[in-house]
Amino acid sequence: MRTIWMLLLSLFLSCSAAFGQAPSPDTRTLQAILEEIHKLRQDFEATTATVQRAQILLYRMRAQMDVVARTSQRLEEPRSELARLKTHHGQLSNFVKQQEEILEQTQEPERRKQIEMELTAMKGQLEQLAVQEPEAEAKEAEYRNALRLEQSKLEELQNTLDQLDKKLENSLHSQMGTQ
């Protein structure tokens, strides 16, 4: 029993001596390394999240660019239709004027009757064109507004991507400065 008490006493004395010692330089170095690793891990996680967000934004930009391209193509249809209607309206108006001049100069009743019938048909076509043109203009305006909206969405995405790029660049510079 005496041996057990001696063993316990020596164990107790050696443990108290260990508690009173100051941390060794190796422990401080290890602690500094652990803190640096923790900081690097946080920086890595933040950078990874930013890069993932940038990838998502790039995907959204590609999709938005496709939407802008499709909307632009849809805008071309009413534009070309409107141009065709205006051209046809101008040509038809000129032809009506020519036919009216010919009608004034024509004396033959058969020929006059034929020109009058043609003029009536052409004036009916002009009236149809007068109805179709505002419809085409409204459709063009609608698609033009849709295109502006989609382009503004694309611009917002580009601005957000620029901000992320600056954030990554600043992060890189701050990491380079601390090293």
Residue 37 lies in a domain: no
Length of the chain: 179
Residue 22 lies in a domain: no
Residue 85 lies in a domain: yes
CATH number at residue 134: 1.10.287.1700
Residue 153 lies in a domain: yes
Separation between Cα atoms, residue 111 and residue 90, nearest integer Å: 25
* Predicted structure pTM score: 0.61
Averaged pLDDT, 64-77: 93
CB 75 within 8 A of CB 140: yes
Tokens (6 digits) for 40: 């690097």
Residue 12 lies in a domain: no
Give exposure, 110-119, as e/b (b: 16+ Cβ within 10 Å).
eeeeebeeeb
Residue 6 lies in a domain: no
Residue 14 lies in a domain: no
pLDDT tens sequence across 112-146: 899 889 889 999 998 999 999 999 999 999 999 99
Separation between Cα atoms, residue 171 and residue 37, nearest integer Å: 17
**Number of independent structural domains in the chain:** 1
What was the pLDDT predicted at 64?
Answer: 92
pLDDT tens sequence across 1-28: 555 555 555 655 555 444 555 557 789 9
Separation between Cα atoms, residue 24 and residue 109, nearest integer Å: 124
